[in-house]
Homo-oligomer: A and B are copies of this chain.
Amino acid sequence: MLTLYYAKGSSALAPHILLEEVGAEYAVHEVPITKGAHNEPAYLEINPKARVPALMTPNGVITENPAILTYIAAIHPQAHMLPDTPFERAEADALCAYLCATAHVAFAHLLRGARWADSEEAHASMKAKVVNNLRDCAKLVETHHLKGPWAMGERYTFCDPYLFLMPRWMGKVGVDVSDYPKLAEHHNAMLHRPATLAVMAVHGI
């Protein structure tokens, strides 16, 4: 049995959707970060990073979206969510690393600037750059990391629900996904999958 620790509307959306896609047996445990639940001792026992998502497995806890997504894919081989060759797997892993370390980090400078600087002027300067940075990320993904219609081409894989987050980050700062046709097509295709819709309903979005 798996338990996903999630906050509504957070990046936990990605593994939540993948759990639905693979038909996993799983439970969810909400961690309301707006109430500070991620900093409570009970949750820090689960994930000392004080972040969501975290996935409780029979062997222990997994943190970090790229690791959680590939783990879910690996233990549900019948769902065929991993690419077939080492090179394609590396392409998918590279997209996840880019989303995790560049795109999500770019977005985090909007409201989480306190992670990297203390002065309010610095936070304002960070916020001012988020739009341009997310535009750069969208262009890079559109050109180099998205084969279409799915990230890896004709087949939906573990990285598609992660890519689904990117237009959401863009939308929060007014960057229109329709400026990026392949990304827009991907987002629209995601929005037509029952697993996506079921999870969005749970998240209230």
Task: Indicate if the CB atoms of A90 and B104 lie closer than 8 Å.
Answer: no
Considering the complex, give the chain B residue whose CB is closest to the CB of A121. Answer: B121
A100 at the interface (CB under 8 A from B): yes
Additional A-B contact list (6), CB under 8 Å, known A48-B143, A64-B94, A67-B91 = A64-B97, A67-B96, A67-B97, A74-B90, A106-B116, A117-B126
- A65/B105 in contact, CB under 8 A: no
Interface window among A20-28, A55-63, A182-190, A195-203: A55-63
Contact A126 B122 (CB under 8 A): yes
Q: Does A161 contact B (CB under 8 A)?
A: no
When the two chains form the complex, which single residue of B48, B49, B70 contacts A89, counting CB atoms closer than 8 Å? B70
Interface positions, chain A 98-152, Cβ under 8 Å from B, are 98, 100-102, 104-106, 109, 115-119, 121-122, 125-126, 128-129, 133, 140, 143-144
